[in-house]
Amino acid sequence: MQKVEHEGEVVTPGEVLGKATELKAGRGAYVAPHNNTVYASVTGLCRIVSPPPDSPDQRPIVDVTSHKMGVVPEPGSVVIARVTKVMAKMASADIICVNAKSVREKFSGIIRQQDVRATEIDKVDMHLSFRPGDIVKALVLSLGDARAYFLSTAKNELGVVSAESSAGATMIPISWTEMQCPSTGQIEQRKVARLGS
C-alpha cells in the first residue's frame, strides 16, 4: 500500500490527495473524473483508513475531517478583527481570534453602520469610527451574506482596542470616541472599546 504524504496534515479544498486507482475518496474528498484524481473538498485533517477486510474494494479510504482543530466564529462569540476597508455604511475586517483563540482559516467580518454603537445610530460616521489597520473587539451577530460574519461593536467594552496613528505610533485611548498619538499629540476619532471592567 502506497503511503500518502498528506496523512495527518491539514489540507485545503482542491488539494490533490492521490490517484483514484490507489485511493478511494471518503468524507471531505472527491474524485475528478477527467484525471481520475482524488481531491480534498474541505479544509481539514487528512487521514487514511483501511477498507473493511470483507470489502471487494481494497483501496485505502482517504477522509478529510473538517474544523475539528480550528475555532470557527459563531453568533455570540467575541472576536478580535483587523479592519481592512472602511466604506460609508460599513467596515470590512479579517477575524484573527475567536474567544481568545487564534483562527487557522480566513474569516471575514462586516461591521454595519447600525451595529457600531447602541445610541445615535443614525449619526454614526464609519470613517470616524474605524480606519484600516485598526484592531477591534467585536461580537458576532450572525453569518451574513457572501461568507462574511456580521459583527457588532455596540457594547461599551467593544470597539477599537489598538490603532496606529498617521505618524505610525500606537495610539492611546483618551475617551470612548477618541485616541491620541503619543508622539505627535494628534487626536483621532474612533469607536473605542472601554478597557477594564
Would you say residue 2 has pLDDT above 50? Answer: no
Superfamily per CATH, domain 78-189: Nucleic acid-binding proteins (2.40.50.140)
pLDDT at 44: 80
Q: Which residue has the cell 453568533?
A: 75
Least confident of 22-31, 112-121, 131-140, 152-161: 22-31
Which residues lie across from 148 on neighbouring strands? Answer: 108
- Residue 143's pLDDT is 79
pLDDT for 48-80, tens place per residue?
988 888 889 999 999 887 655 567 788 899 999
Domain ranges of the chain: 10-66, 78-189
Whether 167 contacts 183, CB under 8 Å? yes
The architecture in CATH of the region 10-66 reads Beta Barrel (2.40)
Mean pLDDT of 124-151: 91
pLDDT at 97: 92
Model confidence at 45, pLDDT cuts 50, 70, 90, reads confident
Of the listed ranges 88-97, 153-162, 187-196, the one predicted with least confidence: 187-196
Cα–Cα distance for residue pair 30/176, rounded to 1 Å? 51
SS (H, E, C) the chain: CCCCCCCCCEECCCCEEEECCCCEECCCEEEECCCCEEEECCCEEEEEECCCCCCCCCCCEEEEEECCCCCCCCCCCEEEEEEEEECCCEEEEEEEEECCEEEEEEEEEEEEHHHCCCCCHHHCCHHHHCCCCCEEEEEEEEECCCCEEEEECCCCCCEEEECECCCCCECEECCCCEEECCCCCCEEECCECCCCC
Average pLDDT of the residues in 4-8 = 64
pLDDT tens digits along 138-177 = 999 987 766 789 999 999 999 999 999 988 999 999 999 9
Burial (CB count <10 Å: 0-12, 13-18, 19+), residue 50: exposed
Same fold yes or no, 10-66 and 78-189 = yes
Local confidence band at 5 (pLDDT 50, 70, 90 cut-offs): low
pLDDT for residue 1:
38
